[in-house]
């Protein structure tokens, strides 16, 4: 055999080295792929197990069905703690819907809508739905008065008659004359009489209400008792007008709503805002929800420009809007770095200024300026801490500031005939769920 030339020998070595390297697997071309799949299937095909083919297909189908069910369950969101807490009340038609909010000083921790805003039209509640907040107006009125005190324009120890001479000398049925103070009208210890429904309907301004209040005898000696008093808070709102030189709605817009960014709060709604207003319902004995009338609003509706700008009730707001005011109070009068109230003024809202007097609307409470204060948590306030302060509304709305746990709890509902809106089971369940957030 002839010897290989040097050149051929080198070539052979080169080919041998190439063969020694592992050749990469070739990706089948598109036209080859069906054939490649068949080969792969044959490669992994197991030997017959001896079982009937029908049995194997049935097992595979059952496994696939179970896997699909698990996957579908994983995709379905679980109800939140709050949704689970409120679901029984929606199912039993205690309420048509709700918006719930929990916040700390810096941010909103929970905001959720539940149920329906309009039952007849089946319109779902939304987180930006508006509500008639009724007596949740009162803390805002107190804050407006305290702003003027911070500026040195009045003192809550002043007699009301210093600014409204018509109310300088109010008498009891026994004939004793008394000078009611601003502190007393903000803590419901003034004993002032109320305007009649007819007088109320005839009024268009807060100034119109003053003569009606002045004509009524005191119900008790000021400071001796606690008696929930609408006239006192409306008198406080009129004081804001007299001392500031601005209408009450304008003062709220410029000094509170504007700085806090409360764009959906006021005594009068725009047509666009009115479309987001949750319907007010009463529950019948048969368990149905029927539309009710907001007696604290204008009879001409929420967009009436001539609505009485009451200080006791009458405002509309959203949960998010009101939380800005509540977070400011939680922050000692400061909201996102902006000081609006002195810390001492906020303290007056959340302090016991009624001592051991029996007050409403739930056991264990006392009153500060414009706010109820939880002294001994129990019943619907059991999940709050002592010192929590805030206010509820006639239609079931609630807003409470817990300075110990640094939390704000806001519940927005529209139910007209709760036996006691502040002691409802809905409120208790809300606070219990909010505590876990």
Paired with 407 in beta bridges are 402
Together in a domain, 229 and 345:
no
Return the pLDDT at 79. 77
Pairing of strands 170-171, 177-178: antiparallel
| Parent domain of 128 | 81-147+253-435
Global pTM reads 0.83
In a domain, 159, yes or no: yes
Please enumerate in sequence order all residues whose Cβ is within 8 A of that of 435, keeping only pairs 6 or more positions apart, or say none. 383
Q: Is the domain of 172 the same as that of 285? A: no
Q: Is 60 among the domain residues?
A: no
Residues 347 and 392 in one domain: yes
Q: Are residues 430 and 293 in the same domain?
A: yes
> First and final CA of the chain: distance in angstroms?
92
Assess whether 277 and 141 both reside in one domain. Answer: yes
Question: What CATH number does residue 213 fall under?
Answer: 1.20.58.710
102 with 187, same domain?
Answer: no
Q: Which of 177, 256, 272, 263 is nearest to 222 (CA)?
A: 177
Please state whether 307 falls in left (phi above 0), alpha (psi between -120 and 50) or beta: beta
- Beta strand spans in 65-180 (E): 97-103, 108-118, 123-124, 131-132, 170-171, 177-178
Task: Tell me whether residue 8 is in a domain.
Answer: no
Residues 123, 159 share a domain: no
Residue 1 lies in a domain: no
Indicate if 275 and 378 belong to the same structural domain: yes
Note whether 135 and 391 are within 8 A (CB). Answer: yes
Taking only the tens place, the pLDDT of each residue in 357-408 is: 999 999 999 999 999 999 999 999 999 999 999 999 999 999 999 999 999 9
User: Is residue 29 situated within a structural domain?
Assistant: no
- Give the integer Cα–Cα distance in Å for 144 and 147: 5
Q: Is residue 335 part of a domain?
A: yes
CATH number at residue 114: 3.40.710.10
Cis geometry, peptide bond prior to residue 238 (ω within 30 degrees of 0): no
SS3 177: strand
In-domain check, residue 62: no
Q: Does 259 lie in the same domain as 230?
A: no
Give the domain-ending residue among 198, 217, 244.
Answer: 244
- 257 shares its domain with 389: yes
The Cα 432–Cα 252 span in angstroms is 32
What are the b/e assignments for 354-374, b being 16+ CB within 10 Å?
beebebeebebbbbbbbbbbb
User: pLDDT for 6-54, tens place per residue?
Assistant: 444 444 444 444 444 444 445 445 444 455 444 444 444 444 444 444 4
Q: Quick check: is 228 in a domain? A: yes
Residues 417 and 326 in one domain: yes
Residues 316, 197: one domain?
A: no
Residues of the chain with pLDDT under 50: 1-25, 27-28, 30-33, 36-57, 73-74
Structural domains counted in the chain: 2
Final residue belonging to a domain, choices 196, 226, 244:
244
Which of 216, 244, 272 is where one domain is finished?
244
């Amino acid at each position: 055999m002839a010897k290989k030339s040097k050149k051929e020998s080198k070539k052979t070595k080169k080919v041998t080295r190439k063969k020694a390297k592992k050749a990469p697997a070739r990706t089948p071309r598109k036209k080859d792929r069906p054939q490649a799949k068949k080969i792969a299937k044959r490669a992994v095909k197991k030997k017959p197990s001896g079982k009937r083919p029908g049995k194997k297909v049935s097992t595979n189908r059952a496994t696939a069905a179970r896997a699909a069910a698990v996957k579908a369950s994983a995709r379905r969101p679980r109800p939140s703690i709050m949704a689970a807490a409120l679901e029984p009340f929606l199912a039993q038609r205690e309420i048509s819907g709700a918006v719930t909010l929990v916040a700390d000083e810096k941010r909103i921790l929970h905001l959720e809508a539940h149920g329906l805003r309009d039952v007849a039209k089946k319109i779902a509640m939304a987180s930006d739905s508006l509500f008639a907040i009724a007596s949740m107006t009162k803390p805002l009125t107190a804050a407006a008065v305290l702003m003027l005190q911070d500026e040195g324009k009045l003192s809550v120890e002043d007699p009301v008659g210093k600014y409204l001479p018509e109310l300088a000398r109010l008498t009891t049925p026994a004939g004793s004359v008394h000078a009611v103070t601003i502190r007393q009208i903000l803590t419901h210890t003034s004993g002032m009489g109320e305007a009649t429904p007819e007088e109320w309907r005839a009024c268009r301004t807060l100034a119109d209400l003053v003569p009606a209040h002045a004509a009524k005898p005191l119900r008790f000696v000021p400071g001796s008792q606690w008696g929930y008093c609408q006239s006192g808070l409306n008198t406080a709102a009129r004081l804001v007008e007299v001392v500031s030189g601005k209408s009450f709605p304008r003062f709220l817009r410029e000094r509170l709503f504007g700085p806090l960014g409360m764009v959906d709060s006021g005594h009068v709604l725009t047509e666009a805002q009115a479309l987001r207003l949750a319907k007010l319902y009463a529950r019948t004995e048969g368990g149905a929800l029927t539309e009710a009338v907001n007696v604290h609003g204008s009879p001409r509706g929420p967009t009436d420009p001539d609505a009485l700008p009451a200080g006791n009730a009458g405002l509309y707001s959203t949960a998010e809007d009101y939380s800005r005011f509540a977070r400011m109070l939680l922050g000692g009068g400061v909201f996102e770095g902006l000081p609006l109230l002195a810390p001492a003024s906020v303290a007056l809202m959340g302090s016991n200024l009624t001592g051991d007097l029996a007050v409403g609307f739930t056991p264990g409470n006392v009153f500060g300026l414009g706010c109820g204060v939880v002294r001994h948590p129990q019943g619907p306030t059991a999940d709050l801490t002592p010192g929590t302060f805030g206010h509820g509304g006639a239609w079931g709305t609630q807003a409470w500031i817990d300075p110990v746990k640094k939390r704000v709890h806001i519940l927005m509902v529209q139910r007209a005939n709760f036996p006691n809106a502040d002691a409802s089971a809905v409120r208790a369940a809300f606070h219990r769920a909010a505590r876990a957030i």
